[in-house]
A and B are shown apart, each in its own frame.
Chain A
Amino acid sequence: MNARGNLIALYTITRREVARILRIWSQTLLPPAITMALYFVIFGSLIGGRIGEMHGFRYIDYIVPGLIMMSVIQNAYGNISSSFFGAKFQRFVEEMLVSPTPSWVMLTGYIAGGVLRGLMVGVIVLGVSLFFTRLHLAHPLVTLSTFVLAAAVFALAGFVNAVFAKKFDDIAIVPTFVLTPLTYLGGVFYSVDLLPEPWRTISHANPVLYMVNAFRYGILGVSDVGLGLAYGVMLGAALALGAVAMVLLKRGVGLRA
């Protein structure tokens, strides 16, 4: 298959992923809108008014970037883990495995699906947030690049999870016991500068912290971490997870006997 053939295969996988997201919109697009609206009401309007300012911003304005990033991360991860595991479970992943589609095209197509779901959910949550705040993008390029990188990192992580998963429980464990704690402790609701030691230092081992803060820098112009370091962490995680995913695909782990 030549380069054009690879592009057609990539387009096909991505299109199929998007069709799936839209087909089950009540499971993929609606829940984040409702959840985030509740976060905005409770943490922003009700409690936020009593908290005061953080880094010179109203509390609700301060948490909006983190909440958008939280939705993006969870949905990019959830999309690929459930979609790819579903393909394994129903065995229609074999349609791709017996075709000449190269592993990297397969992976890129699924990652694109995860990133696009993250984008759709991000835009929806952003739209919801506008009912509660007025946002100005301080650095649009940083916002966009952080969004794509973070979504790609967690889509890759979701892919690795789906490759190893043998039952549906296996794709629910990581979001519940790893992803949610990492996100909640990743500075979505607070600045890590408020934490006492050693928690402040420990928090810097959490990759979500860099994503949330880079995104917050893109929207509000403030961050708890250096932008260069944040990009380094995101790029490093993307490359490492990408390499792992490619090795797993090439070896056919969980896919070929």
Chain B
Amino acid sequence: MSQPALEVIDLRKTYANGVQALKGVSLSVEQGDFFALLGPNGAGKSTLIGILSSLVNASGGEVRVFGRSVQRERRAAMQMIGLVPQELNFNQFEKPWEICVNVAGFYGIPRAVAEQRAEQYLKQLSLWDKAFVASRTLSGGMKRRLMIARAMMNEPRLLVLDEPTAGVDIEIRRSMWKFVSEINRAGTTVILTTHYLEEAEQLCRNIAIIDKGTIIEHTTMKRLLAKLDVETFVFDLAGGAGELPSVDGVRLTRVDDHTIEAEMARTHDLNSLFAALTARGITVTSMRNKANRLEELFVRLVESNKSGAAA
């Protein structure tokens, strides 16, 4: 079996102010994977990525990138990583071209090769027409894409994307995911953190959910979604909702006069619900899932972790 792209072994981090951000996190990401690392704000995701990219010193444990320890073989490990951080962290007075070429230089890449790559990735991310303007004049979406182009300059074997689409419109998000999916298909392992859970559901094959500094779920996306046993549907009604019927195994709630929600087991049939609604003279004009499936699971896991910790 090939070496994992990322191995996190009993990783701990306690900040100087006493906050325990990571409490013994262990996980593994296989080569070529598209891996989702999810968690609520303050769960420890950014600390984990910070340690992985050597911006944060671990208090204990180890991180290995393709077998090379970030703590003991930092330079060898860093050579294989590309990082797209959550916050903008490039020189706003430099031009995208300069930013990309300079970053390649920090990886020891000769200037001629760096210039070729800068052109290639800026073109691929639709930034070539902005390559020679001050980067502070770029739009928010362009700045995000610039950080992806920059992360590609060393052609990393492991690309880490920390909420790369925050505040980016849907069209740009799609183009970004198209690019990232292509490089993943070409063999680059991708680790993604995002608050857009539908993105993670669509893109990622494996997933870890972190909360309060511990991993509360680490499995394949398929297995995780299979755990979802309840679904919520939203019904749009032609007239008023009136008095709602009572249906065994279904919890009906009124959202407004023209909208109701039905929460039921995934195995529950919809026929009895429709029959009961029809009997009450309620006409359904359309229906949809309330939220994406991963979002529901995510909320439940985090909630149960919260109540477990409180107990």
Contacts and interface: CB of A to CB of B under 8 A. Distances in A.
B96 interface: no
Contact of B85 (A94, A100, A102): A94
Interface string B98-135: 11001101111111000000000000000000000000
In the complex, which range does the number of interface residues on chain B fall in?
A: 35 or more
B106 A9 contact: yes
A92 B57 contact: no
Contacts of A16: 98, 102
B74, B87, B106, B154 — which one has the most chain A CB atoms within 10 A of its CB? B106
Given A6-B108, A8-B108, A99-B107, A1 B83 contact: no
A4 B108 contact: yes
A97 B107 CA distance: 11
Contact of B55 (A87, A98, A102): A98
Nearest to B47: A257
Interface in B1-60: 15, 47, 50, 53-57
Contacts of A98: 53-55, 78, 81, 83
A11 B75 contact: no
Contacts of A96: 106
Contacts of B272: none
B87 A252 contact: no
B255 interface: no
A180 interface: no
B233 interface: no
If over half of B's interface residues share one DSSP class (helix, strand or loop), that class is named, otherwise mixed; here it is loop
A19 B97 CA distance: 14
A95 B153 CA distance: 12
Interface string A86-122: 0100111011111111100000000000000000000
B98 A100 contact: no
Contacts of B106: 9, 12-13, 95-96, 99-101
B92 interface: yes
B102 A5 contact: no
Contacts of B137: none
Interface string B59-100: 000000000000000111011010101011111110000110
B93 A256 contact: no
A23 interface: yes
A124 to B, nearest CB: 23
A18 to B, nearest CB: 12
B104 to A, nearest CB: 8
Interface string A1-45: 110111011011101100100010000000000000000000000
Given A9-B106, A19-B98, A256-B55, A94 B89 contact: yes
Given A12-B106, A13-B105, 7 more contacts: A9-B107, A13-B106, A19-B98, A90-B91, A257-B15, A257-B47, A257-B56
30 contacts: A2-B108, A5-B108, A6-B108, A8-B105, A8-B111, A9-B105, A9-B106, A11-B105, A13-B105, A13-B106, A16-B102, A87-B91, A91-B89, A94-B55, A95-B90, A95-B106, A98-B78, A98-B81, A99-B78, A99-B103, A100-B74, A100-B75, A100-B78, A100-B107, A102-B75, A257-B15, A257-B47, A257-B50, A257-B55, A257-B56
